[in-house]
Structure formats: C-alpha cells, structure tokens
Structure 1
Amino acid sequence: MQSSTVFITLWLLLIVFSVLSPVTEAQPPTYRDHVCPNTTTFLINSTYQANRDTLLTSLSSNGSRGNGFYNTTSGRNPDTVYGLFLCRGDLSTSVCQACVTFASTDISRRCPVEIAAVVWYDECLLRYSDENIFSAVAEEPATILFNIKNATGTEIPFDQLVAATVVMNMNDITTQTENKPAGSKKFATRETKLSSFQTLYTLAQCTPDLSGSGCSRCLQGARENLPNGWQGGRVLSPSCNIRYETYPFYNLAAVSPQPPPAPEEEKQNKSNRIPVLVASLSAIFGLAVVFISAFFIWRRRNSRDEENSQEVQLLGLVNEHSRETFNGENGERSQEFPSIRLDVLHAATNHFFDENKLGQGGFGPVYKGTLADGKEIAVKRLSETSSQGLVEFKNEIMLIAKLQHRNLVRLLGCCLEKNEKLLVYEFMPNKSLDVFLFDSKLAAQLDWQKRFNIIKGIARGILYLHEDSRLKIIHRDLKASNVLLDHEMNPKISDFGMARIFEDKNEANTNRVVGTYGYMAPEYAMEGLFSIKSDVFSFGVLLLEIISGQKNNGFHHLEHGESLLTFAWKLWSKGEGMELIDQVLVPSCVASEVLKCIHIGLLCVQEDPADRPTMSSVIFMLASDSTITLLCPSEPAFSVGRAITKPAEPISDDGVFSVNEVTISNFSPR
C-alpha cells in the first residue's frame, strides 16, 4: 500500500514537472519563409558544397552561444562560404540551439544547390552566402507577414500607436548599442496599453555585428514596410526584424530582468534553498490536479492564439509549401497564404501588356498571365484611381483564403511590392457570365441545360458561404459579372471584396452601403440592413436575368417603365411566364423547369426578407420535380423603373418625379 502511494506521488510529480517545463523547448521551430535564388547554383560534390556543409555543421555546434548569435566562414577563395545565425533575444540557449540545429539541416534540404540562402523561423534565422555578409546591412530579400484579423476596439489610433512604439523600440536598441560592448544583443521589446483590456506587444532586433547606424537603417526600412490596419504584422529581413501583435508572442519574463541580489541576500538565499525546495514540492504535490487542469486550459487558449496569429505572406519568395499549393500539387491549402513575386507576375503578363487585359472594373484591370510552367492565371491589379482600396484588398484575402468550394473561384496568391497590390486567381477561360448572357451573339452558346446548371452551381456556392463553410459569409455583391465560367461553363462565384463575416444574429447594419445597383435588396439599399436574405434577393435577380437574357439594371419594358422583376411577376401571375424566356432558349428549354425557376426567382425577390427562402430551400426546390407545390409570391415591391412620358400627354414640371432617390455606393463590375 505504501509503495503504491509513493508510486502515485512520483507519477503526479512527473506530470506536474512536465507541465511546468517550458513547452517551447520540446517544439520544433516554426517555419516562416526561405529565399534561395536558383540563378546562382553550385555543382554537386563541388568544393563549395563541401565548404557549405562544413559551415552549417559549425553553426549548429555553436547554437548554444549565450548571446544567440554566431558568424563564421568555411574554406578559401574562391569557394569561401560565409554564414551566421540569429536567435530571438528572449529565448533560452537550449531553444536557440534546437532551432539552429534544425535550420542547419532544413536549409540544405530547401536550398540543395543554391550558393546563397536565408531561412526564417519564429525562433531564429540562419543565412549563408559566397559573399562577405558580416557587418553589412541586408534589407532584402524581405518577407512581410500579417495577422488576418483587423485591429478593432482600441482607444488610440492603432496604426499610429504601432508606428510610435516601433520607433521607441528602435531607440531602445540604439541606446543599447551605445552602452554595451560590440557584439552584444541588439534586441528590444515593449508593451503598450491599447485599452483597459488590450495590450500591444512589439519587438525589434538586429544582428549584433551591425553598427548602431546600420541597425537603425535596417529597422527604418523594415518599419516602412510594416503592414498597417491588422492586429499583428512583421517584417523579416536578413539583418533585422520587427513584429507587433495584440497578444504576447515572446517570453515576457525573459525580457524583464531583475536586478542581481546583493552579497548578503545571496548568502541568505543559499541558506534558505532547502526549506524552500521542500515547501515548493509540497505545494506542487497538493496542487497537482489544479496544474493539470490549468494545462488543458492553457492548451485550449494556446490553440486560440494560434488561430489569432494566422498570418498572410505578402512579400518575398513563395515558400515551399505555398509553392506546392500554387502549382496544384498539394490537396490542402496552406495556412501561410502564398505570396508571388512581382517579377514573376510581370513576366507572366508581359509587364501587364494591354493585349493581355481581360477586363476593367471598379477594383482595376484584370490581366491574363502564363507562368513559366505553362499554368494560366488571372491577375487583378488595384489601380491608383480605384473606387476600392486596401480595405477590399485585405477583405478578399482574409475571406477567400479560408474558402474552398468548386463553385467559388480559387485565389492562388497575392503580391504587395513596389506600391503594387495584386491578387492572383485561377484563370477562367470563358470569362464571366455577363459576357455571354447579355450579348446577342454569344447568348446562343448558353442553351437551357447549361443555364440551368449555372443556376444550380451558383446556388450551391452561396449555400456554402451561408451555411457550410467555417465562416458564415454574406457576399453582398452577387451579380452576373462576378460569376466566372470555367472551360466547361461551370460557374464560380468571385470577388469577395465587399463580403462580410456574419455572426450568429438575424441581421446586421452598415453605414457604408456597397454593391451594384439593381441587385441590392430593398432593406439593404434603403436602410443598410443586410443578412443572408440579402444574398438571396441578389440570387433571385440573377436567376431572372439568366432566364430572360436581360439586365435588371436598366430594364424598361415598352412604355410602362417596369423593372425586370415587376415584368416577370406580371407575366407569371397571368400564366404567361414562358414569354419571359430568352428567345435563343426556345429550342432547348424544358418548360416545367423554366417556370419553376421563374417561380423560385420571384420568391427570392420578395420585399420582406422573411418571405424569401433560404439557399438550402432554394437548392431543394431546384432539385425537386415539377410537381412540388411552391408558395405564391407577391409582387416585388422594390421595382426600380423610370417614368416614361407619352408625347400626347405632356406634363408640367410639377408632375416630373424621380423614382428611388436613395443614395447608394455604386461600384462598377470588375
């Protein structure tokens, strides 16, 4: 019985000590990016390779150096290799050693024959080159990462506070350089209160071999590239790095050193060690269950922090995992969103040559591009005069990067270099739905079966956004020009610049009404209220456009000035729904399917959002046979038409009126 108690006691103590031990020491380093241009390579089994391998071994064996930095060379000219590593300033020597050891092997795997390379992890960076890189400022290649969540709820302008705090960190490092011997750490952190419940954490670091002015120059360049408007961001360069977050991402205890004890205190401490140790063990044993519970709570919170710190890569070369995703060789999407170099996109689009231009929209022009491996892409370029800007650019990255469905266009990557803001998509050879739908010559290529399949595909895509994806998303700009067609005429919804993540509530309100005239639900255009039923309304408009081949925006039938919605309802209510159909569909249409689609479209454009079906109901109705009984729609109230005067009945100025005087933001098709 006694031995059993001892065993249980020892077992609990082991668990507690394992909980209390630093978790990071057991974790492999967190990879962020690497650069190794393949323009300069060495031969396999060459002298340079032997020197490179010797250098990496030397770096690995010196990973436990106290200041977290080491540089050395290997070999003689012309095959000399220069190398260094830098660990984050708050980490222990054991964590630094583990990162450098891992990096020494990892970099040769990622860059097997490249003469120069650099690899970044959260814990360290490692670099080698055939040129002397010691004491030289290297601001490029740089990698920019940012937390995908927007900064909200702060009492001080967030971007201003970040900039000011980073400058203070830079000043701290300058002060350290002046007061410490050469080769000391150039590392500073700072915590700044954003509000009563939120803190800003910032970090800046340079390689210790830089001079004070060199370090300041490197950090200044990094600060200029630091992404704004997000909860976190960082810039990684070969000589320095800057980072800010709204959660502690470094060891707070390690960056808040305590003053050394006085000699008398040191003696007293030694005499008190044994009683303190006994008391500590007793306390640990008594609180074992509490600590174990705390461990699981910590794990849960840590997983949330990892979600909050998901980052999007914006500059630098595409990392290996991103490149696999970009080439379509990996079935899973990387959490680290791919960045594509500007020079790659210039080459793919022939420097955005006009002949490669696919179209022009509110965002800016879209160009066709062909990569070196023959893969075709579409590049959306934010123009300086665009009616949209960084908000929509960030929004599209943040949302579509998390979505994957066969009826949603796939965003392959982005680029933010030299004032360019570019989004790269999979190429859709048949452009957008409006190109075919509203062109009298091309419309014949869309027979009824193709149009019916397009209707069902769009409905499936919206259903995924509303109910099946990780996020509940309202598109807010569903229209024919935002439905792209692949080589088999399958529809893919695009353009998430206006989309909003929708929380668990019935509706939301916005002061900024955005979208396209003719597709907006009445409650959204008039009052700024939007919900999933706003997208249902837009789908209903789009469905009626697909059937009729006519645009709702600007549709005016004969002398009555009716909208497409009112015109469709009047025909349907009189039993003449087939008169709405595009004449090119007559030979191929199935009357029962056409009438059912008109009926569904009218249900979707009802004035009261509560009277509109959900997209799951729409999918069910579309899949059901023609015998299903549908609710009877009332006349669409949101009938934006125009008054047409008759020559025989002139009216006075008092009789002139304007329909729909509401002010809305009208964005052109993209």
Structure 2
Amino acid sequence: MNSCFAIFLSLSLSLSLSFFFVFVQNFSAEAAPTYIGHFCPHISLFTPNSTYESNLNTVLSSLSSNATNSINGFANATAGQNPPDQAHGLFLCRGDVSTSTCSDCMATGKQDILRRCRNQRVAVIWYDECMLRYDNRSFFSLMETKPTITWANSSNITNPTRFAQVLGQTMDKIAARASNSGSGKKIAVEEVNLTGLQTLYTLAQCTLDMTTFDCNWCLRVMISNLRQDKQGGRSFSLTCGVRFELFPFYNASAVAVPTPPPPQLPRPPSPGTRLKRKSNKSTIITIAITIPVGGVMVFLFLTCYLLRRKGKKTYVIFKGKSGANELTTVESLQFDLTTIKVATNDFSPKNKLGEGGFGEVFQGRLPNGQEIAVKRLSQSSRQGDEEFKNEVLLVAKLQHKNLVRLLGFCLEGDEKLLAYEFVPNKSLDYFLFDPQKSNQLIWPLRYKIVYGIARGMLYLHQDSRLRIIHRDLKCSNILLDNEMNPKISDFGMARIFGVDQTQASTNKIVGTFGYMSPEYAMHGRYSVKSDVYSFGVLLLEIICGKKNGFYHQFDGGEYLARYAWNQWKDGTPLKVVDPAIVDSNSKDQVLQCLHICLLCIQEDPAIRPTMATVVLMLTSNSITLPSPRHPAFFVQSRLRGVGIPMKGLESDQSTHRTKPLSTNNLSITELYPR
C-alpha cells in the first residue's frame, strides 16, 4: 500500500514539474522573443543628439505604441521633414502571434536594435515572433529581397527526393495563398502528412504594404534559398519570409482559412406542400418549357459576344532569357475605343494636356470616376507597333511608387492608345524651366524629386523582376503627382535585359540629344550605365534650373555640362547652381549632388557609378566621393556625314550625329553595404 502511494506521489511530482517547466518555458517565450539575427550595413552613422536620432526615437516610439493595439501585427511610421534626417520604420509580427506577444517583441526589438546597431541610420532585426527595421530613406511598398537571413536545420532528410517534391509543391501553394490573402494579413500556413509519424509544417508571410505581385515574387526568391535536404529551414528578407519544420512552430488556429458552411439539405415536403405542387402543375410545365428556350438564347448571345471578343484579342511577344518567344496575353488591360472616347469627350481640345513627337495626351475620366491620362500615338509617330507593345508589356509588369502606372490600352484600327494614371502636376520641365514656377521648387523639394527618380531607376535596373534600360530619361518624362513625388514615364524606348546581360547594341539610335551617353550616341551600345549618364544630365538640370543646351545658344558648342565642369575645376561651383536653392542650410547637399552628377556623366561607362551607388551616395554623409575628372562633352556635328545617321531620334535640340571630344582614365570603386 505504501509502495503504491509512493509511486503515485512520484508520478504526481513528475507531472507537476513537467507542467511547471512548460509554463516557465511558455512564459519566458512571451517575455523574451527568440532572436534570429540582425543586419547593420555600416554605410552611414548618425551623431548622438542629432536631428536624425530625435526622428528615429519618435518613429520607434510610434511603432511601439501601434504594436499594443495593432490588429494585423503591422505598422509603419515616418518622422522628419528633410530627407537626409528623415526616419522611416516598420514592424511586422508573425501572423499567428497574439497582440501581447507582438507588443512584447516590438518592445524588446526597440531596445535591442539600438544596442546591436549603435548609431546606424539603417538597421533591421529579426525574431521568431517579429521583424523591426528603420532607415533614413523611404522604403514603404518597396519589395526588397536583400539582405537575406537564411538558416537550415542540421538534421538531414532520409528520403530527400520525395521530401523536396512535397516541400516544393507545398511552398508554391502557400506563396500563392499568402500573396492573395484577403484576411488583412499576408500569411499562409499548410500542414502535410509525410509518413504516419511525420508532418511537414510550412509558413509564408509578407509585409502588408506589398502588392500581390511583389509579395509572390519575394516569397519565390526566399523559397529558392531553402535547403530541401534538411528537416527544417527559414529564409527572411526585409519584406517577406518563409519557414518549414517537422514540428508545429505556429498557432494554426490563428491563421486558419475559414471553411464555408455546409450546404443545407432541403427539408422533406409536408402533405400540404404535395397538394400545392399538384395544383401548380401547369405552372411547372410552363417554366420547364421557358427555361430551356431562354437558355438557348443566352447561349447564342454569349457565343456571338465571345467570338467578337476573340477577334479583338491582343497578344504581346517578347524575347525571354532563353531566346524563345514567350506569349503573354494582356487582354485584361484592353479598353474599348468607345470607352476612351467617352472618357476624353471624343479627344476634345479642352481635355488636351500636351503633345510631343509621339502624339497627344488627353485627360479623361472613366465611368467609375477614376481620372486617366490617355496617350494617343499619331500615325506618323516614330513609336510603331513594336514600341507600343513594348511599352504595354513593360509598364504592366512594373509596380513602383516612382513609376507611372499603366491602367490599360486600346489598339483598334489606326488608333494606338495608352491609358495611364492621371498625374495632376504635369512634368518636371513644366516647373523647372519656367522663371516663375521654378521658384516653387525649393531645394528640399528638388532633392525629394532627385531621390525619387534615383529610386525608380534603381528599381528598373536591379529590384524589378526584369532588368529594364529606359533609354529616354529626361525632364519631360518625369511626372509629378499631387504631392510632387516623381514618376518616371514613357517606356516606349525601353529594353529588357537578361539577368546576366550587361550590354546590348542597336543600329537604331533613339532618344533625346543631350541626354544620350557617348557610347550609345556614337556606337549604339547601351547598358544600365547609359541610363546613369542620362540621370547625371537630368540631375545637373535640376541643380542649375536650366536646360542642357542653355549656354550653347550664347556660346556655340558650350553645353551645361561643360560650363559646370569649368566652374567646378576653377573652384567656383556655386556659380552654376540656381540661386533660388542655395542657402546656408542646403549648400553642402547641393554641392554633393553636383559632385555625384559629374561622376555620372563620365565618358567611360565602366567608371560611372551604378544607380545603387548613386542612391547610396545621395543618402550618406559619411562616404568620401571620388574626385571627378574631365567628363564627356558633346557639340553639334557640323558635318552631317559623320557617323551613322541618327534614325528615329526625337530631339528638342538636334537630329544630327554627336561626337565625343574628351577622354579620361578615371577609376572609381563601387560602394556596397557591408
């Protein structure tokens, strides 16, 4: 009897201790989130008690407050007015954790990130329960797959071939579900039975500011980082993350997809119903005859409608990386010509916004009230069917806040129309080169525009799923929205590059004189560095408030770039700067931008910075910039027979071949985050 009591007491103590340790483990998990890793690129530091530190503390306090009340486990915040000292931050909690766990994780992260990334302007920290990041640049809604933190379980899978297949299929499924999640959280989980004793648990999640396309793309990149021969692994970036294990690591009920209610079976009819049915027999017969006849008529109508639509179906063909033709339908973006005519009041002159070498642009309003800008290509436009289809394909695939958004197109008869989002403040040249309106462009606003253009170009060159060379970057192709945010437009001349492709050539030189790089204008060679050159000229115009050919009309052969270089070389760079933007607060930043501009317009494309480096130089005060040397200059060729005729050139200054006049041997080291 005593031995039985002793055994019972021993078991009771063991169970009590087990429950105690489980409770302690769960309590500590609530109190201390599980640290995974952090990233501090060490590209820019802030000084203690600086404006940036004050703005950063404001952002972190705001995020910490939001975490206590956040339903979706996500929030972002911004503090500060001037871009160099602005602080931007966000947090994302794992979609299955409670509000209290999310709040605890955020509170820990707020202290931890400042300790691990001391005085850093850019930082991110990951935990099992949440992710926290901040930056001195605006990164909201930008899909970023680097930096990435990846981890794999040390235990191997016994049957790696089958496991890799199941894991791949499951991850594809939850990536699609998370991207299209309508629950307010871009998260999806899935459990799959591998054997009688093993279950695969998977999770995928994106930040809530990601579009469906960007979320899906980000998750696919993270999935490709996973080791498929291990029993667990995870891969996280700044905007998404994936994880799999052979044990449950999330609360499935918190992210479960609601199941639809079961169908209700009809109740058996009562005797009264039987009598009623008998009396309504004639009605049933009538309905039985009418419905098939009506169905046949509807079927014939739909058949005729679909055949008509099939005749209008438009496809876009482009070359993929393998060189094979890839057929992509864009019918979902197609507008009827009648819809466009109604929206623009039949292309009324009162709705006309402007025109160029391509044709005219009209303001319109769709039936749902949305305002649009319709680009109507003229029959004599140099943008033919190929360029038209190219622009539709490119812009439809690109999603970035600094790129104009394509809403649809129309290709009927002789009409080629593109419908874009309406950008109310016209183009940059409308303000920049007008003596009165240019005064509205104070330096902080110009810097905001410069930075936005640089971010948009970086997206085209590096961050989008396609590498795009714009080939016609200029002031008139920079549109300004109601908050004066820049949006790059006009992709009719753009070209797709393969992932590993660095340069291409063409015999058809298109673009605008003065913005074209020397290697493109003279030899038809273009690359991302061609766009960098155009960006440099554009930046110079923004700093000076004058067109590139301004001084040419007074002193034959001297363009803005030559004038700027001469003033820089003579130690008087402020002479070239628009007087309206120079004051004691902005002088250093203006001169830094002028320095960057001169680096971008070097003759040798190999020594020009990339757009990633340009963005880094624009946002960092601690980087020492290389000294610029004699850049590439152009004068209008007086011999029309020099070189190949510039076919297809759209120019507001010249349509003749241009000739480089200078060479240099400048070398520059690319700057990368560490």
Normalised by the size of structure 2, how large is the TM-score? 0.51
CA contact (8 A) 1:521 1:534 kept: yes
State yes or no: 1:350 paired with 2:332: no
Select which of 324, 329, 354 maps to 1:311. 329
Per the alignment, residue 534 of structure 2 pairs with: 538
Per the alignment, residue 156 of structure 1 pairs with: none
State yes or no: 1:83 paired with 2:296: yes
State yes or no: 1:608 paired with 2:604: yes
Per the alignment, residue 663 of structure 1 pairs with: 645
Return closer, same or farther for 1:409/1:151 CA change in 2, 3 Å cut-off: closer
CA contact (8 A) 2:582 2:590 kept: no
Q: Give the aligned length.
A: 368
- Residue identity over aligned pairs, in percent, reads 51
Please tell me the residue identity of whatever aligns with 1:444.
N
Return closer, same or farther for 1:409/1:143 CA change in 2, 3 Å cut-off: farther
SS in 2 for 1:434: helix
SS in 2 for 1:599: helix
Per the alignment, residue 159 of structure 2 pairs with: none
SS in 1 for 2:412: coil
Per the alignment, residue 420 of structure 2 pairs with: 425
Take 2:320 and 2:449, find their aligned partners in 1: how far apart are those partners?
A: 39
CA contact (8 A) 1:74 1:81 kept: no
Return closer, same or farther for 1:658/1:128 CA change in 2, 3 Å cut-off: closer
Per the alignment, residue 390 of structure 1 pairs with: 385
Select which of 369, 373, 382 maps to 2:368. 373
For 1:47-196, what aligned pairs fall within 5 Å after superposition? Answer: 80-83=293-296, 127=299, 129=301, 140-142=308-310, 144-150=312-318
Return closer, same or farther for 1:384/1:559 CA change in 2, 3 Å cut-off: closer
For 1:603-647, what per-residue CA distance to the aligned partner results, in whole angstroms no more than 9, with x for missing partners?
00000001100000000000011x5311111112333268xxxxx
Q: CA deviation at 1:582?
A: 1.6
Return closer, same or farther for 1:508/1:150 CA change in 2, 3 Å cut-off: same
Return closer, same or farther for 1:464/1:556 CA change in 2, 3 Å cut-off: same
Select which of 622, 625, 634 maps to 1:630. 625
Q: CA deviation at 1:391?
A: 1.1
State yes or no: 1:455 paired with 2:450: yes
Take 2:314 and 2:635, find their aligned partners in 1: how far apart are those partners?
A: 43
CA contact (8 A) 1:407 1:461 kept: yes
Select which of 550, 560, 575 maps to 1:579. 575
Please tell me the residue identity of whatever aligns with 1:604.
C
Take 1:509 and 1:458, find their aligned partners in 2: how far apart are those partners?
A: 25
Select which of 523, 538, 552 maps to 2:548. 552
Q: CA deviation at 1:559?
A: 3.5
Q: Which consecutive unaligned segments of at least 5 residues does structure 1 have?
A: 1-11, 16-72, 85-115, 117-126, 154-196, 199-230, 232-307, 314-336, 643-655
Take 2:497 and 2:521, find their aligned partners in 1: how far apart are those partners?
A: 18
Take 1:403 and 1:566, find their aligned partners in 2: how far apart are those partners?
A: 35
Return closer, same or farther for 1:589/1:546 CA change in 2, 3 Å cut-off: farther
Return closer, same or farther for 1:75/1:579 CA change in 2, 3 Å cut-off: farther
Per the alignment, residue 182 of structure 2 pairs with: none
Return closer, same or farther for 1:436/1:588 CA change in 2, 3 Å cut-off: farther
Take 1:152 and 1:464, find their aligned partners in 2: how far apart are those partners?
A: 19
Q: CA deviation at 1:556?
A: 1.8
CA contact (8 A) 2:318 2:327 kept: no
CA contact (8 A) 1:517 1:553 kept: no
For 1:554-590, what per-residue CA distance to the aligned partner results, in whole angstroms no more than 9, with x for missing partners?
5427446411111111111222111111232245960
Per the alignment, residue 119 of structure 1 pairs with: none
For 1:417-439, what per-residue CA distance to the aligned partner results, in whole angstroms no more than 9, with x for missing partners?
23321110000001111111111
Select which of 503, 507, 511 maps to 1:515. 511
For 1:49-84, what per-residue CA distance to the aligned partner results, in whole angstroms no more than 9, with x for missing partners?
xxxxxxxxxxxxxxxxxxxxxxxx987789951438
For 1:126-172, what per-residue CA distance to the aligned partner results, in whole angstroms no more than 9, with x for missing partners?
x354xxx99x898534464444324799xxxxxxxxxxxxxxxxxxx
For 1:160-559, what aligned pairs fall within 5 Å after superposition? Answer: 308-313=326-331, 337-503=332-498, 504-553=500-549, 555-556=551-552, 558-559=554-555
Take 1:386 and 1:589, find their aligned partners in 2: how far apart are those partners?
A: 46
Q: Which consecutive unaligned segments of at least 5 residues does structure 2 have?
A: 1-161, 166-285, 653-674
SS in 2 for 1:387: coil
Per the alignment, residue 38 of structure 1 pairs with: none
Normalised by the size of structure 1, how large is the TM-score? 0.51
Return closer, same or farther for 1:78/1:508 CA change in 2, 3 Å cut-off: closer
SS in 2 for 1:140: helix
Please tell me the residue identity of whatever aligns with 2:419.
V
For 1:519-541, what per-residue CA distance to the aligned partner results, in whole angstroms no more than 9, with x for missing partners?
00000000001110000000000
Return closer, same or farther for 1:393/1:581 CA change in 2, 3 Å cut-off: same
CA contact (8 A) 1:477 1:515 kept: yes
CA contact (8 A) 2:379 2:414 kept: no
Take 1:659 and 1:489, find their aligned partners in 2: how far apart are those partners?
A: 44
CA contact (8 A) 1:565 1:639 kept: no
CA contact (8 A) 1:407 1:458 kept: yes
Select which of 563, 566, 570 maps to 1:567. 563
Take 1:660 and 1:481, find their aligned partners in 2: how far apart are those partners?
A: 29
| Aligned residues: CA RMSD | 3.3
Take 1:409 and 1:484, find their aligned partners in 2: how far apart are those partners?
A: 8
CA contact (8 A) 2:405 2:421 kept: yes
Return closer, same or farther for 1:423/1:560 CA change in 2, 3 Å cut-off: closer
State yes or no: 1:620 paired with 2:590: no
Q: CA deviation at 1:369?
A: 0.3
